[in-house]
Structure 1
Amino acid sequence: MIRRSVILSCLIAMTLSYGHAQEWKPAGDKILTEWATKVDPKQPHPEYPRPQLVRSNNWQNLNGLWKYAVTDKSVSQIPTNWDGNILVPYAIESALSGVGKSLNKDQALWYTTDIVLSKKLRNEKTILHFGAVDWQCEVFVNGQSVAKHEGGFNSFSVDISQALKKGNKQQIALRVWDPTSDGPQPRGKQINKPHSIWYTPVSGIWQTVWLESVPKSYIKSTHQTPQVDQSSLTFSADIEAAQAGDLLHIIAYDNGKKIAESSNTPTETQQLKLENISLWSPSNPKLYDLEVKLMRKGKVVDQAKSYFAMRKISKKTDQKGIERMYLNDEFLFHYGPLDQGWWPDGLHTAPTDEALKFDIEKTKEMGFNMIRKHIKVEPARWYRHCDSIGILVWQDMPSGDLGGNNWDMHPGKFRAGKQDKDRTPESEAIFKKEWNSIMTQLHNFPSIVVWVPFNEAWGQFKTKEIVEWTKQKDPSRLVNGASGGNYLAPGDILDLHNYPEPAMPDPARFGKDFILANGEFGGLGLPIEGHTWQAKDNWGYQSFKSVAELKKRYSELITDLTKLLQLGLSAAVYTQTTDVEIETNGLMTYDRKVIKIPTIELREINEKLYDKNLIN
């Protein structure tokens, strides 16, 4: 009888789960990617979400169908009535959420889910993690408010141990407020009324939600920086509730073979000495494994796995007296697409991890060695894929609080004077807090080689202060202070935007002070019937009617680019990886089903840019 009742209970649970899954389907009538059919509504994005600090045996993925309600902004208590189901982690405006509704500044978005907490997560501490929630939210566990957070592009965590009740059933709820373009917060390309280069809003949960069990003393985060010239890895960690006498032990491995180890107190920075190391680059994306153990009286209190790479990015003067960008003390022209990271079905969220990886793989196959991640931050797994595949990343800070700037950026011509935007103290604080958090959370990913705090004067403020602060926070990377923005202490790189032809700042005037870059050019458009966001009125900086015309013009731009490279250009960014909404200037269609210029042909064209004889 006992066995029959257990089997019956399992069958009922499976039936309920299947029934809920059957209720979900993509909303709306927009184009979808091929991965939309692979989304499992019982648990989308099931992969472990934090590749730089892995405890894979004691976590629980909470993605799936939650309940949602849209209320007046004034509502502060968890609703008792719900509007329906929403598939987490896809934003409410997206097709894959199953909802496809927009919000306004006078509304709040509520979520709730009842979970069965795994017994292995009722150890000493239970941590609730959110990959990203846009924008302002309050978290409730069993009706108790446990955390508040602001920031649409950074992860956050909360210890919910004290809010858990007896038994394995627990309730999690979330209140979200997102004014999109009616607020001062970083938002990137979102706007309340999408048009032109501005896209559909993204509100609420848009990255993985998960639970983790940790001991009372545990490793919260690590900070690791390669020091190629010293043949060492600088390592430190944030340890919760460390005790006197504790040791932090780190071990480096190469394909399972121990190659170095070090121990010190948890508060001390360690130098892990390394020998015969293979340097990371796009042509050699070599990664080493790292094991981190918190030790107490000879016993392991907590442990986690990580990884690192040895690579160096620097600014050096070439034989002609021009500043160049060097990777591992060798010149390498950085060339990649402007990558918006948008999806027709998931908006900010890729349908699956396979889809997330696809864009990076295709970019590499097309002959690019870099991606400029444009005013968006991706889930941690995206950067892990870049590390593994071998793609350099220029990481933008998402812009916000736009308007009111005196924008003056022209090839070889810069005007002095007041050009920074005046932002309120609240707006400035929001920007600084989120940029600081983003840089901290992404620090360990070796593929990131350039930070970009501002884009095209969009909300650009106190430029000199922000750029200097960015450089001080992370001296291991270069800083492109104002990509296509206002020339006000731009850091290491002077970067202009020009469409459609490539262009560069005057090397005679600026070449001895800055690395010269063309942060955006191209934008060649080709709408492909059946693969556009809308049937007509699509847009590109320069539009064509055939692949042959597009390829011819693209080849001409690359020839122009090689001439600029010889004059002193160190990097260029082509707009863009994919079509996005009404923009049809992508190398691929928005649904990723058509690569407009065949991959092999693109690679052959792009390889001209890596001829080292061009700068000799």
Structure 2
Amino acid sequence: MTARTAADAVPLPEYPRPQLRREGFTILNGTWDHAFTAAGAPQPDTWDGPIVVPFSPETELSGVGRQLQPDETLWYRRTFTASARAGERVILHFGAVDQSCRVRVNGVEVVTHVGGYLPFSADVTDALTANPDGPDAPHELVVEVRDVSDTSYHSRGKQRLRRGGIWYTAQSGIWQTVWLETVPTVHVAGLRMRTPGVCDGLAEATLELRVAASDDRAHPVTATVLAEGQVVVRADGVSGDDLLIRIPEPRTWAPEHPFLYDLEIVLGDDRVASYVGLRSVEVAPDARGVPRLHLNGEPYPHIGVLDQGYWPGGLYTAPDDAALVRDIEAMKDLGFTMLRKHIKIEPLRWYFHCDRLGMLVWQDMVNGGRSYKPATITLPVLHPRIRISDRRHAAFGRQDAEGRAEFLRELDATVELLRNSPAVVTWVPFNEGWGQFDAADVAERVRALDPDRIVDHASGWHDQGAGDLRSLHVYFQPIRPARWWGRDGRALVVSEYGGYNLRLPGHDYPEREFGYRRAKDAAELTAQYERLHRRQVIPALERGLSATVYTQLSDVEDESNGILTADRTEVKLDADTVRAINHDIRRRFAAVTTGAPE
């Protein structure tokens, strides 16, 4: 998609919240006005020109191509039509705005928000009446944005104003869908689902469903579970309470059979649609007593890829919904069973596609903090046995108490946002020491919020002995697990490795190249990849290796170590070889975890 085609159509027009769907919505993506001013300046009287939302101004697809600086404000403006009848409210939703913003409708401030990765909303019904031309006339929507990027402690992911190497171009502003929704005055505000103890072969499974009402009061609720359009069970309850729904002869969810039950929920005049996948995950001993990742009560290999979620034309924002699907399908076609979503929270539709296509997800929290010290985050690449106590907050760029508190709030919100997705199986609070602090306490906080998923408390290094996994990044040493690893009950995973480089002819690359090993052509890259897996990865399965995360899904800026090119048009490795290796990983994993012959 080019900037012109993005402007000519409404980008990303799909319903943005698949697990809580209702009729009566309007997508506000498309062409808005924009302007840059000095920070603290009032709303401008004149505008710099059009911008295509939801693409950040730094991107080609926005039609702007300008970097928002820490001492500037980015302004957005558009008009829309909406009205609420008696008994209705109009809700304005933002998928994500990086980094802090203030929103006004008809000059009335309706919401402020800090944090560039999480959705927020505002009831704008009363602000519609402030329109001087009347409630049925076009309403003015203005969004005021600041983004200090990596000059403060706010969560920023891999963004840097001075990009290079593993750090990417900073982006700002609206980067997920903006939309309006009309709801009854009392409506479903949220759903919380649990499917504890699910395993294959059960005669009955229990879905724990809690429906939150917008006024936090108790209201009668009816929930209907359907399978392929046929009613399975209907249950009545009260909002705010756990509704225990017994599902006979349950069909479990797994990458090989990602079955989803449909849900229909009624609260008063509100009707919403959702879905649920019945599955369980845990770390438990295999037949030999070795801690392993389990899915639905059985050992299951997480054969993963690191997924940065960056796009050449849109940075954080995919050009269209189909692009999200293609990434997942491409990795599934190669035999991978898991994507580690790296230091980014995607639009909810990405998780929906993982749910319906059958792809496990390890979800990273988004890192923040002050500048990172090379001795903390870089030296362990070569010397992975270095371990620093993360109670030394300043050593990890976490000297700001306010920044630590903000991270914990965002962690809580991330768990709440994604907890209903069956695909999301592992939480990763910290990566390679970037803004890490009190990881053992954070792991217990996550477990208290969500006892039904796996916690990888410190991916890479600076392990604090907590969580469910001993999580290693291996780039310059061989993958050779020690036999004593796992005696603490944690499963062994290599949560990053590989990262082999190849620049294919016919593709644009920056002058600088970053990676961990270079190949001259696709044949050499494939040979290196196969040698790594057959000599190191597959033999490590017998020593307890339960999961792997290859770096990475696609090329990103300086990094030319993707399985796919940055534009996703070519697979750089021989696809049949990758499929054969992943097949052999699964076969060997089954043999060593069950004791059965291969």
Please give the TM-score of this superposition, normalised by the length of structure 1.
0.90
CA deviation vs aligned residue, 1:44-72 (integer Å, no higher than 9, x gap): 001000000001x2000000000111111
Mapped pair 1:533 → 2:509: yes
Task: Identify the residue that residue 319 of structure 1 maps to in structure 2.
Answer: 287
Mapped pair 1:80 → 2:45: yes
Mapped pair 1:580 → 2:536: no
Q: 1:259 aligns with which of 219, 228, 232?
A: 232
Q: 8 Å contact 2:34–2:48 — kept in the other structure?
A: yes
Task: Identify the residue that residue 15 of structure 2 maps to in structure 1.
Answer: 48
Task: Identify the residue that residue 91 of structure 1 maps to in structure 2.
Answer: 56
CA deviation vs aligned residue, 1:175-226 (integer Å, no higher than 9, x gap): 1111111121111110000111110111000000000001110001101111
Q: 1:565 aligns with which of 541, 546, 563?
A: 541
Cα 1:122–1:65 shift into 2, 3 Å: farther
Q: 1:236 aligns with which of 207, 210, 220?
A: 210
Task: Identify the residue that residue 518 of structure 1 maps to in structure 2.
Answer: 494
1:409 Cα offset (Å)? 7.8
Secondary structure of the equivalent of 2:532? helix
User: In the alignment, residue 125 of structure 1 is paired with which amino acid?
Assistant: R
Matching of residues 364-403 of structure 1 within 5 Å: 364-401=332-369, 402-403=371-372
Task: Identify the residue that residue 162 of structure 1 maps to in structure 2.
Answer: 126
Cα 1:389–1:190 shift into 2, 3 Å: same
- Whole-angstrom distance in 2 between the partners of 1:475 and 1:243: 26
Q: 2:183 aligns with which of 177, 202, 214?
A: 214
Q: 8 Å contact 2:91–2:124 — kept in the other structure?
A: yes
User: In the alignment, residue 515 of structure 1 is paired with which amino acid?
Assistant: A
Mapped pair 1:177 → 2:146: yes
Q: 8 Å contact 1:58–1:120 — kept in the other structure?
A: no
- Whole-angstrom distance in 1 between the partners of 2:390 and 2:467: 18
**Which region of structure 1 is more displaced relative to structure 2, 501-510 or 171-180?**
501-510
CA deviation vs aligned residue, 1:208-248 (integer Å, no higher than 9, x gap): 0000001110001101111244711111122013666x301
CA deviation vs aligned residue, 1:84-130 (integer Å, no higher than 9, x gap): 1100000111110000100211111110001233x578862000000
Task: Identify the residue that residue 548 of structure 1 maps to in structure 2.
Answer: 523
1:530 Cα offset (Å)? 2.5
Q: 8 Å contact 1:533–1:590 — kept in the other structure?
A: no
Cα 1:570–1:242 shift into 2, 3 Å: closer
Q: 8 Å contact 1:141–1:163 — kept in the other structure?
A: yes
- Whole-angstrom distance in 1 between the partners of 2:477 and 2:212: 47
User: In the alignment, residue 81 of structure 2 is paired with which amino acid?
Assistant: V
- Whole-angstrom distance in 2 between the partners of 1:153 and 1:225: 24
CA deviation vs aligned residue, 1:411-431 (integer Å, no higher than 9, x gap): 984657566424211111211
What RMSD over aligned residues (CA atoms) do the two structures have, in Å? 2.0
- Whole-angstrom distance in 2 between the partners of 1:249 and 1:89: 36
Secondary structure of the equivalent of 2:251? coil
TM superposition outliers: structure 1 runs of 4+ over 4 Å: 119-123, 407-420
- Whole-angstrom distance in 2 between the partners of 1:576 and 1:518: 13
- Whole-angstrom distance in 1 between the partners of 2:313 and 2:528: 31
- Whole-angstrom distance in 2 between the partners of 1:507 and 1:217: 58
Task: Identify the residue that residue 144 of structure 1 maps to in structure 2.
Answer: 108
- Whole-angstrom distance in 1 between the partners of 2:158 and 2:8: 27
Runs of at least 5 residues in structure 1 that lack an aligned partner in the other structure: 1-23, 27-36, 296-300
Task: Identify the residue that residue 290 of structure 1 maps to in structure 2.
Answer: 263
User: In the alignment, residue 64 of structure 2 is paired with which amino acid?
Assistant: V
Matching of residues 372-451 of structure 1 within 5 Å: 372-401=340-369, 402-404=371-373, 406=376, 413=385, 415=387, 417=389, 420-422=392-394, 423=398, 424-451=400-427
Secondary structure of the equivalent of 2:162? coil
Q: 8 Å contact 2:498–2:550 — kept in the other structure?
A: yes
- Whole-angstrom distance in 1 between the partners of 2:331 and 2:305: 8
Please give the TM-score of this superposition, normalised by the length of structure 2.
0.92
- Whole-angstrom distance in 2 between the partners of 1:100 and 1:533: 18
- Whole-angstrom distance in 1 between the partners of 2:236 and 2:383: 52
Task: Identify the residue that residue 201 of structure 2 maps to in structure 1.
Answer: none
Q: 2:91 aligns with which of 124, 127, 130?
A: 127
Task: Identify the residue that residue 189 of structure 1 maps to in structure 2.
Answer: 158
1:577 Cα offset (Å)? 0.2
Matching of residues 462-541 of structure 1 within 5 Å: 462-499=438-475, 503=479, 505-534=481-510, 536-541=511-516
- Whole-angstrom distance in 2 between the partners of 1:268 and 1:459: 37
- Whole-angstrom distance in 2 between the partners of 1:203 and 1:502: 39
Secondary structure of the equivalent of 1:274? strand
- Whole-angstrom distance in 2 between the partners of 1:323 and 1:220: 39
**Which region of structure 1 is more displaced relative to structure 2, 108-117 or 316-325?**
316-325
**Which region of structure 1 is more displaced relative to structure 2, 422-431 or 190-199?**
422-431
Q: 8 Å contact 1:511–1:568 — kept in the other structure?
A: no
Cα 1:242–1:429 shift into 2, 3 Å: closer
- Whole-angstrom distance in 2 between the partners of 1:589 and 1:353: 19
Cα 1:416–1:464 shift into 2, 3 Å: same
Secondary structure of the equivalent of 2:539? helix
Cα 1:418–1:63 shift into 2, 3 Å: closer
Q: 8 Å contact 2:156–2:368 — kept in the other structure?
A: yes
Task: Identify the residue that residue 108 of structure 1 maps to in structure 2.
Answer: 73
1:365 Cα offset (Å)? 0.3
Cα 1:122–1:342 shift into 2, 3 Å: farther
1:485 Cα offset (Å)? 2.8
Q: 8 Å contact 2:50–2:63 — kept in the other structure?
A: yes
1:143 Cα offset (Å)? 1.0
Q: 8 Å contact 2:355–2:421 — kept in the other structure?
A: yes
Cα 1:310–1:418 shift into 2, 3 Å: closer
Task: Identify the residue that residue 592 of structure 1 maps to in structure 2.
Answer: 568
1:80 Cα offset (Å)? 1.1
- Whole-angstrom distance in 1 between the partners of 2:553 and 2:245: 38
Cα 1:417–1:430 shift into 2, 3 Å: closer
CA deviation vs aligned residue, 1:482-501 (integer Å, no higher than 9, x gap): 00031113300110101156
Cα 1:25–1:67 shift into 2, 3 Å: farther
Cα 1:417–1:48 shift into 2, 3 Å: closer
Runs of at least 5 residues in structure 2 that lack an aligned partner in the other structure: 199-203
1:511 Cα offset (Å)? 3.8
User: In the alignment, residue 207 of structure 2 is paired with which amino acid?
Assistant: L
- Whole-angstrom distance in 2 between the partners of 1:418 and 1:319: 35
Cα 1:515–1:412 shift into 2, 3 Å: farther
Q: 1:613 aligns with which of 564, 572, 591?
A: 591
Matching of residues 19-58 of structure 1 within 5 Å: 26=3, 39=6, 41-55=8-22, 57-58=23-24
The count of residues paired between Structure 1 and Structure 2 equals 573
Secondary structure of the equivalent of 2:17? coil
- Whole-angstrom distance in 1 between the partners of 2:509 and 2:485: 43
Secondary structure of the equivalent of 1:173? strand
Secondary structure of the equivalent of 1:613? helix
1:151 Cα offset (Å)? 1.2
